Amino acid sequence: MPSATAGYAPDLEKYLKSLKGQPLEAAVESLISLLKRRQIRGSEPCAVATAHILLQVVARSKWQDVDGLIENVSRIGRRLVEAQPKELVIGNIVRRILSLIRDEAAEDRNEASSETPSEAPMTPPHPSDPTSLLQSPPSTYTKQDSAGDYLNPAVPPPRPGPMPSYSSVNIPKSLFHLLSASPPSLGDGFSSPHRNSGNSTPTRIAHQSSSQVHALRSEVIDGIEEIKDEISQVDDQIAALAEAQIRPGDHILVHQPSPTVERFVLRAAAKRKFTVLIVTEPPRKQSEDIQYASFRKKLSASGITVINVMNSGLMAYMSRVSKVILGARTIVANGGAVTDAGAAAIARAAKEQGNAVVVLAGVYKLSPVNPFDEDSLIEWGGSSSFVSFADGRMVNNVEIRSAVTELVPADFIDTYITNL
């Protein structure tokens, strides 16, 4: 994230404070407009805001049962994603929360250890559309011992959508789906084929008692709080790996370092002596202060040489650089990282030289989205910083492009460091 983050913090904080007083719908609306206007931007703020608002949804919206809750959350989640489709973190958090809800609900019902809460497969734009192939019940394998419970009408809600499911539970399903119409563990024979074979209606869960609802609500809220904590701890956990990655005498290149990257480097700086090359954005005004001043100060205090590099193409430096450390806004399913514009050229240059490229990202930034088209992930920005609107010849005749984010393909990345 660029150093000029002064803008966002007040907006996010202001928004979060305002959450208390406002009615739910109004809060959602205001978040949507903040997202649309890019007043809340950057992965961490968006993630935090999403988590907060969904917590409010869980806590304050009306719902009778798990399906209802899921529907509420998905609905709001969908709107948030549409407000800012390029910010993939929003979708990630929505999915995490949905998966959390399902897991909690499944736990409640089965009292067996639930499956791993990995990224749930649902994408908000695809409303529940279970195909006949994807069976609803979690695999018989894990539920063998609880076959008894299994029979009760509260079947765990189906996982909708054709998107790949990541949790280990579904894996046997995907190969056996061809053959299994029902979990053969059921002693009662085959009422299940009728229930599950090829139906597309999600089995509706019987009305849950209010105490169950209440219990679920508080569990989900706890879960969301955990997610929020996780987001805030990401930087520390990532930084814990810093010393292993940075060696004394290294020349580390960082590109427009985000707070995560700064923490990472500073942590290593406490123990090692190395050189940091910071690639900056072009200065907006002539007489701007030194960029990344506070970062530089902290580094120099640890005795690290810091050089602000003001070049756009970094191949020139690569023979000197030992490692490149990048922060990512999101990491997509094929391993590519969405980063600030300019990082892809740096990664390519590093690859050419054989330098390692390390990407730092909290797990909440991993998105199951598979970009069919790289270009859809690029965000284009305004050009007023370098061309004035008064410059008629330029404005009229020339198409001006300035990218804000871009995708670094997985081949250019050597290592990902996350908080797990």
Partner 1 sequence: MATEGDQPGPSTPAGDTAAAKKDKKPQGQTQTQTQQKNQAAQADPGSGEKKLSNAELKKKKQEEKAARRAQAKTVQVAQPVGPSGARGASGDATAGGKGKAGNPRQGGLLVTGGHHRSASKGVLPQPVKEPTKPKIPECFSHLSMARRITMTQADKDVNPVVLALGQQMSSFAISDSTTRLETTLLAFKKVIDAYTTPHGNTFSRHFTSHVLNPQIEYLTACRPMCFSMGNAIRWLKLQISKIDIDLPDASAKKILCQSIDNFIHERIVLANLVIVNTAASLINDDEVVLTYAHHKLVERSLLQAKSDGKRFKVILIDDPFERVGIEHAKKLAAAGIPVTYASDLGALKTNLQEATIVFAAAEAMFSNGSMYARAGTCDIATVATDLGVRVVAISETINFTERVSIDSLTYNEIDPGRSTDEGFRLLFDTTRDKFISVVVTELGDSSAMSVPAILRKLEEL
Partner 2 sequence: MASADSAALAAISGDLPLRRQSISTSNFDIVQTYRDLLASDPDLTKPVAAIESLIVLLNTVPSTTVYETLDTVKAHCDRLKASVANPVPLTAGTDLFLQYLVSSLKQQEGSFDAVRQHLLRNGRLFAQRAIAARNGVAEAGWRFLGEGKCVLTHGASRSVTGLLGRAAKSLQGKFRVVYVRDEARVEENDRVVKELRGMGIPVAEIPEAAVAHVMGLLRQVNMVIVGAEAITQNGGIISRVGTYQIAQLASNAKPKLPFYVAAETHKFVRKFPLDQSDLGFKQKMLDFSIDAASKQPEDAVDYTPPQLISNLITENGVHLPGHVFEQLLSIYGSLNG
Cβ proximity to partner 1, 228 vs 323, nearer residue: 323
Q: Is the dihedral of CA 188, 194, 197, 203 positive or negative?
A: negative
Contact segment (CB under 8 A) with partner 1 among 36-44, 115-123, 202-210, 278-286 equals 278-286
**Binding residues with partner 2: total (CB under 8 A):** 33
Report the C-alpha gap between 59 and 170 in whole angstroms.
Answer: 30
* Cβ partners under 8 Å of residue 157, min gap 6: 66, 67, 70, 102, 105, 136, 202, 203, 205
Among 163, 205, 324, 341, binds partner 2 (CB under 8 A): 163
Among 10, 162, 249, 313, binds partner 2 (CB under 8 A): 162
Residues 322 to 361 in contact with partner 2, rule: CB under 8 A? 333-334
End-to-end CA distance of the chain: 22
Comparing CA positions, the residue from 284, 283, 295, 247 lying closest to residue 268 is 247
94 and 73 in contact (C-beta within 8 Å)? yes
Beta-bridge partner residues of 305: 275
Contact segment (CB under 8 A) with partner 2 among 65-73, 77-85, 178-186, 290-298 equals 178-186
Residues 30 to 89 in contact with partner 1, rule: CB under 8 A? none
Report the C-alpha gap between 331 and 138 in whole angstroms.
Answer: 28
Least distance from partner 1 to the Cβ atom of residue 260, Å: 20
Question: Is 301 one of the binding residues for partner 1 (CB under 8 A)?
Answer: no
Among 344, 359, 366, 369, binds partner 1 (CB under 8 A): 344
Give, as one character, the DSSP assignment of residue 282. Answer: P
Cβ proximity to partner 1, 225 vs 391, nearer residue: 391
Question: Is 286 one of the binding residues for partner 1 (CB under 8 A)?
Answer: no
Q: How far is CA 262 from the centre of its chain?
A: 20
Question: Is 177 one of the binding residues for partner 2 (CB under 8 A)?
Answer: yes
Least distance from partner 1 to the Cβ atom of residue 391, Å: 8
Q: How far is CA 144 from the centre of its chain?
A: 34
Report the C-alpha gap between 255 and 260 in whole angstroms.
Answer: 12
Contacts with partner 2 by CB under 8 A lie at 131-133, 140, 144, 162-165, 168, 171-172, 174-182, 184-185, 189-190, 193, 197-198, 333-334, 370, 372-373
Chain positions contacting partner 1, by CB under 8 A:
251, 275, 280-282, 290, 296, 305-320, 340-342, 344-345, 348-349, 352, 374-375, 378, 380, 383, 386-387, 391, 393-394, 397-404, 406
